[in-house]
Structure 1
Amino acid sequence: MAQAGVFLEHDQFNCSICLDVLKDPVTIPCGHSYCKACISGYWDQDEYISLYGCPQCRQTFSPRPVLGRNTMLADVVEKLKRTGLQTVPSDDSLAEPGDVECDVCTGRKNKAVRSCLVCLASYCESHVQPHYESPAFKRHNLVAPFGTIQEKLCSRHDKLLEVFCRTDQRCICSLCLTDEHKGHDAVLAAGEITEKKNEVGEIQRKSQQVIQERERELEQLKQSMTSLTLSSQAALVEGERIFTELSASIARRQSEVKELIRAQERAAMGQAEGCVRQLEQELNHLKKRDADLLRLLQTDDHVSFLQSCQSVSAQPEREYVPNVRGDPNFGCVIAAVSEFQALLEDVCQGGFFNISEKVNSVTVLEGPKPKAEPEQAPEPAAQAPFGLNVPAPNAFRVPVRFVGFASPTFGPRPSESRLRVQQRRRRR
Structure 2
Amino acid sequence: MNIQYEDQFSCPVCLDRLKEPVTIPCGHSYCMSCITDCWEQKEQEPPYRCPQCRESFSQRPLLKKNTLIAEMMETLQKTSLQTAAVECDVCTTEKNRAVKSCLQCLASFCQTHLQLHYQSPAFMKHKLVKASRNIQENICLNHGKLLEIYCQDDDQCICCLCTDNHKGHNVVSVDSEWISKKKELKEIKAACQKLIQERERGQQELSEAAKLLKSSAEEAVENIEKVFAELICSLEKKRSEIKEQIRAQEKTEIDRAEKLHKHLDQELTELRKRQTEIEKLLISDDQIHCLKSCQSVCVSPKSEDVPSFTQHTHLSFKDISISAFREVLEDVCQQQTARMYREVSNVHVAQTPEPKTPNAFWKFITVCI
Same fold by TM-score, threshold 0.5 exceeded? Answer: yes
The residue type equivalent to 2:309 in the other structure is V
Q: Which of 363, 384, 388 lines up with 2:367 in the alignment?
A: 388
CA distance in 2, matches of 1:204, 1:249: 66
Q: Which runs of 5+ in 1 are unaligned?
A: 1-94, 370-375, 391-428
Aligned to 1:243: 228
Residue type of the partner of 1:331? Answer: K
How big is the shift at 1:96?
5.0
1:266-415 correspondence runs (5 A): 266-326=251-311, 328-333=315-320, 336-366=321-351, 379-381=359-361, 384=364, 388=367
Bigger CA radius of gyration: 1
- Unpaired stretches in structure 2, ≥5 consecutive residues: 1-78
User: Does the Cα contact within 8 Å between 2:150 and 2:174 map onto a contact in 1?
Assistant: yes
Look up the match of 1:148.
134
Once the two structures are TM-superposed, the CA of residue 124 in structure 1 deviates from its matched residue by 4.3
| Counterpart Cα distance in 2 of 1:107 and 1:281 | 146
CA distance in 2, matches of 1:362, 1:110: 69
Q: Percent identity?
A: 40
Which of 203, 223, 226 is matched with 2:211 structurally? Answer: 226
Shift of the 125–377 alpha-carbon distance from structure 1 to 2, 3 Å rule, reads: closer
Structure having greater relative contact order (Cα 8 Å, sep ≥ 6): 1
- After TM superposition, give the deviation of residue 116 of structure 1 in Å: 1.6
Task: Give the whole-Å Cα distance in 1 for the aligned partners of 2:96 and 2:324.
Answer: 96
Residue 338 of structure 1 and its aligned partner are, at CA, apart by: 0.7
In the alignment, is the contact (CA less than 8 A) between 1:102 and 1:124 conserved in 2?
no
Select between 323-332 and 353-362 the one with higher mean Cα deviation. 323-332
- Aligned equivalents of 2:202 and 2:244: distance in 1? 61
Distance 1:383 1:304 in 2: 139
- Quick check: 158-167 or 359-368, which moved more? 359-368
* Whole-Å separation in 2 of the counterparts to 1:225 and 1:106: 67
* Structure 1 segment 88-127 matched on structure 2, within 5 A: 97-103=81-87, 104=89, 112-125=98-111
Q: Distance in 2 between matches of 1:368 and 1:136?
A: 62
The equivalences for 1:136-285 within 5 A come to 137-178=123-164, 180-285=165-270
Structure-2 change in CA distance of 1:379 and 1:285 (3 Å): same
Q: Secondary structure at the match of 2:310?
A: coil
- Considering fraction of residues, name the structure with more helix: 2
Equivalences, count: 286
SS of aligned partner of 1:316: coil
2:30 match: none
Q: Which amino acid letter does the alignment assign opposite residue 155 of structure 2?
A: Q
- Cα pair 2:86 2:133 within 8 Å, conserved: no
Q: Separation in 1 of the partners of 2:289 and 2:316?
A: 53
Q: TM-score if structure 2 supplies the norm length?
A: 0.69
AA partner of residue 166 (structure 1): Q
Change (3 A) 1:382 1:214: closer
How far is 1:147 from its partner? 3.4
Relative distance call for 1:345 and 1:368 in structure 2 (3 A) is farther
Q: 2:86–2:131: 8 Å Cα contact kept in structure 1?
A: no
The TM-score normalised by the length of structure 1 is: 0.60
Tell me by how many angstroms 1:133 deviates.
Answer: 5.3
**Counterpart Cα distance in 1 of 2:273 and 2:245:** 42
Q: Give 3-state SS (helix, strand or coil) of 2:241's partner.
A: helix
* Structure 1 pair 96–214 and aligned structure 2 pair: CA distance change class (3 A): closer
What are the within-5 Å matches in structure 2 for residues 13-92 of structure 1?
A: none
Rounded Cα–Cα distance in structure 1 between residues aligned with 2:113 and 2:259? 131
1:197, CA displacement in angstroms? 1.7
- Per-residue deviation, 1:186: 0.9
Q: 1:278 to 1:384 in 2, by over 3 A?
A: closer
Give the secondary-structure state (helix, strand or coil) at the position aligned to 1:265.
Answer: helix
**Root-mean-square deviation (Å):** 3.1
Aligned residue identity for 2:129 = V
**Equivalent-residue separation in structure 2 for 1:143 and 1:240 (angstroms):** 74
In structure 2, C-alpha distance between the alignment counterparts of 1:294 and 1:108, rounded to whole Å: 159
> Contact 2:108–2:131 at 8 Å: present in 1 too?
yes
- 8 Å contact kept, 1:221–1:364: yes
- 3-state secondary structure, aligned to 1:171: strand
Task: Look up the equivalent residue of 2:329 and give its one-letter code.
Answer: L
How far did residue 341 of structure 1 move? 0.5
